[in-house]
Amino acid sequence: MKKPLIDVKNLTVGYGTKIIQKDLTFSVNEKDIFVIMGGSGCGKSSLLRVLMGLLKPMRGQVLFEGTDFWKNPQNRQEILQSIGVMFQGGALWTSRTLAENIAIPIKQYTNLNDRQIYELARYKLSQVGLSGFEQYYPSEISGGMRKRAGIARALALDPRFVFLDEPSAGLDPVSSAKLDELILQLRDSLGMTILIVTHELASIFTVADNAIWLDAKTKTMLAQGSPQELVQNGPLVVQKFLKREAE
């Protein structure tokens, strides 16, 4: 049985006094691909921002292996160094080559010399199928390749946890399917725990071991389980979403 690595307890997410999601309680198991899903504007990315340390929760706890992420700044910094993030669109610096993009966190958090940094960046690009593209700029490659480069940067420091925000958004079906295959390969080969925000149904059914549904109307979580379980036994709104049926 897999052990939980991340425990979210009674979490409320919002901005100022505006509540986006409330009373969230769920666990993410070791080596799971965990999907946060829901309709547009329900707070998927806001929840991810709390989990990755960019947005302080209004209430509740986020525990990484029992350590309260938001309670102690020193603990938070240690946890952050075990997290890799790919933001929407890849968020690459357009004025830097792919290798230079991957090198940014390596330079910041290691004492490696320039040659070692470049070799590590080249290796990370090879892990996502981009060998030979080290000197290319983001504008010179396809959207799918930019997403892969964004994942390579997320892998730069060998994280235990990888957070992906809408990784397949804007991709054609073939490129999206190849990205799903890459995510599965990385989890299986590197043993990472991966959290994904997405509304892409094909990706959800392909990669997710576990998922939660965030509801915009009630501003809380309505269901947790595998997509295969939820499409059969989940709340009606979740079933309709997973079956692509109109409300």
Task: Give 107-166 pLDDT, tens digit per residue.
Answer: 988 999 999 999 999 999 999 999 999 999 999 999 889 999 999 999 999 999 999 999
pLDDT tens figures, 19-52: 999 999 999 999 999 999 998 889 999 999 999 9
Choice between 168 and 62, residue whose per-residue pLDDT is larger? 62
Vertex 118, ends 146 and 185: CA angle to 5°? 50
Binning pLDDT at 50, 70 and 90, where does residue 247 land? Answer: low
User: CATH topology for 1-82+163-247?
Assistant: Rossmann fold (3.40.50)
Q: Of 181, 122, 170, 162, whose CA–CA distance to 144 is shortest?
A: 170
Vertex 224, ends 218 and 225: CA angle to 5°? 150
Q: Please give the pLDDT value at position 89.
A: 65
pTM equals 0.92
**What integer is the mean pLDDT of 239-247?**
81
**Nearest-angstrom CA–CA distance, 34 and 237:** 20
Beta partners for residue 197, in sequence order: 36, 165
Binning pLDDT at 50, 70 and 90, where does residue 68 land? Answer: very high
Q: Where are the domains of the chain?
A: 1-82+163-247, 90-158
**Nearest-angstrom CA–CA distance, 3 and 121:** 32
Asked whether residue 234 carries a pLDDT value surpassing 70, the answer given is yes
pLDDT tens figures, 190-215: 999 999 999 889 999 999 999 999 99
